[in-house]
Structure 1
């Protein structure tokens, strides 16, 4: 394990042509915001299984995919706030039918009802907000997260999974759905793939439950990095150690894939964890359980230097022997 030194440079990230971040909620938005300078070189594959809050109400009453995490990701990556971005993030107050609804969710749902592909709907909003990076839903079909419990019963819905008092035996998606083609292509092109931070079971795991995404992760030669949460997660995932979480990813994908991890300073490490790790204080000053964007970017850059350097050393050693 190496200590994070907090360099304010993008030396290694500037060499990367394509990087993909997988997840959902505020965690993925934080990563996208931290790496927004990469513009078109940066893509996100966003979880679309949420069934809580404004998103859940829309899904219950009108069907469709979960738009909340896509909206959150779009809003956080905006580098220059505008009237359009404020409108997109506007949340209705009061006690009427619109109370609690986010206007961005309603805009995206309206585009879906107009039979516009979800990916194209996101692209229209990207253009409106002048967002350069690409943002893809994990699937363009309505889909829910479900869990098999240790007693053999099951629960359906992200909210139900988050409410469990024990770790589920396994997770699956219902009904059957396919991954968004653009998301698969982004993984094919990626030199670096990031997982997290965020709710482990309900934000990070759902995309890799899609067979096409798991298959692409098995085939990909990209460096794969797990970004751990800064605090103990609430819900059933709270019992999982860093090693446990990485093992869950490996078991779902079908083989070990994680090359490195970014973790808080006080993380307890298992010596059997076969990946490069850097640890440090990455907390934001305003919200301590969220990552500071500048520090997170520097940590990713520093870890990439560690992961790619052995390859460069091997090349130099081979040249020296010729």
Structure 2
């Protein structure tokens, strides 16, 4: 019994300390709360003064008389005792009123969330002060990066390729004539701040049903909104409001882009889904129509960026298609923001066989040269540190993939600034022959490495 009573006392004490801490947090600058509370108080006093003047000052006289009588009564008990008592009662009433008021606001705005309102406001202030980051890419790599970066900044822009022609996106593109929504859907879900159930609904993929099997709800939702609003950009804006997206998602172009690739053996492949299965090294990538126009929002985001990131993702089907939009490339070239290329962990059979980090960079520079850009856009590289041996690595090697090696000395000689980090997700253990693990970037580790690069760059510039 004594132990239980002690636990309860300790719990109450901890709760009191926690409440006191939150009360002090309301005094921190930048919450944009105190100024409006004081404004309301001043307005209340002025309203009372105006009413008193209108009533020929009689209410003021009555109020002062009442206060004077009350003070005389209280002072009779000894001002050394009465003064502190009245002061403490007044402070207690103010704190109680503020606590209950903000508690009511918290329950009204977010009844299911446990985060205290002051903590939520402090977190939002920190995110609002985060850097303007533009992430360019597509596929799962971009959505993984975004889900990590949203912990550090609310000023995120994802510029997404719209060249996908496989799976659910490909079917909707062929049958409805809409731009492929799959990569955009993944980015919206990654940046969503709304309830997890709504995000899961957006990512839900039908496993049965004639005509529905294989489609995700989010793809259908975006396609329907595109048909209603007339363009994908407006549909994305509407979806962003539904999911309370932190930042913005912008297609690289509004054109109906179709990829093609020329291989080393002279063969030409049409379509993004076919390029990923190339049987010979890719020597050139292009699209139809050539030189598609960029969206103004994408150009504006790049112009205002504090950091521009390319990758991670499939080199020829997720990253380079964005660089087929000349206006995007020119905007990146004009930007004074640091530019970072994030390399993949593993090679992709049929797309990047045998390429190390240097090979990936050469492919990017070759692609830029093909549209007349000789400037090196990404001179900083984030690459994976040596991957530990294990069943995951053996599994990937059995499928024809290898770790993307990084020749630090060679890259430094070419003028690249290289940062190595451990960015893979938690190691998964094999279960006999049924191992189906993945070696992918972990969103937290990846975002942490990117922010370390940005902070180090900003520090050098300030020094």
Alignment TM-score, normalising by the size of structure 1: 0.87
Q: Quote how far apart the aligned CAs of 1:312 are.
A: 2.9
Match of 2:321 among 186, 191, 206: 206
Aligned residue number for residue 155 of structure 1: 269
Aligned residue number for residue 292 of structure 1: 442
Match of 1:280 among 406, 421, 428: 421
* Residues 265 and 280 in structure 2, CA contact (< 8 A), matched pair in contact too: no
Aligned residue number for residue 229 of structure 1: 344
The count of residues paired between Structure 1 and Structure 2 equals 301
- With over 3 angstroms needed to count, the CA separation of the structure-2 counterparts of 1:273 and 1:30, relative to structure 1, is farther
Instruction: After superposing the two structures, state which structure 1 stretch, 72-81 or 162-171, moved more.
Output: 72-81
Q: Return 5+ residue gaps in structure 1 as ranges.
A: 1-12, 314-322
* 3-state SS of 1:166 partner: coil
Q: Quote how far apart the aligned CAs of 1:179 are.
A: 1.1
* Residues 16 and 191 in structure 1, CA contact (< 8 A), matched pair in contact too: no
* 3-state SS of 2:282 partner: coil
- With over 3 angstroms needed to count, the CA separation of the structure-2 counterparts of 1:150 and 1:259, relative to structure 1, is closer
Aligned residue number for residue 57 of structure 1: 171
Aligned equivalents of 1:39 and 1:236: distance in 2? 33
Aligned residue number for residue 230 of structure 2: 116
* Residues 191 and 246 in structure 2, CA contact (< 8 A), matched pair in contact too: no
Aligned residue number for residue 145 of structure 2: 31
Alignment of 1:242-257 (within 5 A): 242-253=357-368, 254=373, 255-257=375-377
Higher relative contact order (CA 8 A, sep 6+): 1
Aligned residue number for residue 187 of structure 1: 302
* 3-state SS of 1:76 partner: helix
Q: Quote how far apart the aligned CAs of 1:281 are.
A: 1.7
Aligned residue number for residue 87 of structure 2: none
Q: Quote how far apart the aligned CAs of 1:22 are.
A: 0.2
Aligned equivalents of 1:273 and 1:290: distance in 2? 28
Alignment TM-score, normalising by the size of structure 2: 0.61
Aligned equivalents of 1:130 and 1:222: distance in 2? 27
Instruction: After superposing the two structures, state which structure 1 stretch, 40-49 or 229-238, moved more.
Output: 229-238
Q: Quote how far apart the aligned CAs of 1:49 are.
A: 0.4
Point out 4+ residue stretches in structure 1 off by more than 4 angstroms: 13-16
- With over 3 angstroms needed to count, the CA separation of the structure-2 counterparts of 1:259 and 1:210, relative to structure 1, is same
Aligned equivalents of 2:179 and 2:190: distance in 1? 20
Q: Quote how far apart the aligned CAs of 1:224 are.
A: 0.6
* Residues 204 and 217 in structure 2, CA contact (< 8 A), matched pair in contact too: yes
Aligned equivalents of 1:303 and 1:56: distance in 2? 36
Aligned equivalents of 1:291 and 1:64: distance in 2? 30
Instruction: After superposing the two structures, state which structure 1 stretch, 245-254 or 57-66, moved more.
Output: 245-254
Q: Return 5+ residue gaps in structure 2 as ranges.
A: 1-126, 387-404, 429-436
Does residue 1:91 correspond to 2:232, yes or no? no
Q: Quote how far apart the aligned CAs of 1:127 are.
A: 0.6
* 3-state SS of 1:238 partner: coil
Q: Quote how far apart the aligned CAs of 1:153 are.
A: 4.4
Aligned equivalents of 2:201 and 2:276: distance in 1? 30
Aligned residue number for residue 169 of structure 1: 283
Instruction: After superposing the two structures, state which structure 1 stretch, 155-164 or 235-244, moved more.
Output: 235-244
Alignment of 1:69-148 (within 5 A): 69-94=183-208, 96-148=210-262
* 3-state SS of 1:169 partner: strand
Aligned residue number for residue 335 of structure 2: 220
Aligned equivalents of 1:15 and 1:251: distance in 2? 37
CA RMSD of aligned residues (A): 2.1
Aligned equivalents of 1:279 and 1:299: distance in 2? 9
Q: Quote how far apart the aligned CAs of 1:81 are.
A: 3.8
* Residues 164 and 180 in structure 2, CA contact (< 8 A), matched pair in contact too: yes
* 3-state SS of 1:201 partner: helix
Aligned equivalents of 2:221 and 2:425: distance in 1? 31
- With over 3 angstroms needed to count, the CA separation of the structure-2 counterparts of 1:77 and 1:16, relative to structure 1, is closer
Aligned residue number for residue 4 of structure 1: none
Structure richer in helix, relative to its length: 2
Q: Quote how far apart the aligned CAs of 1:39 are.
A: 4.9
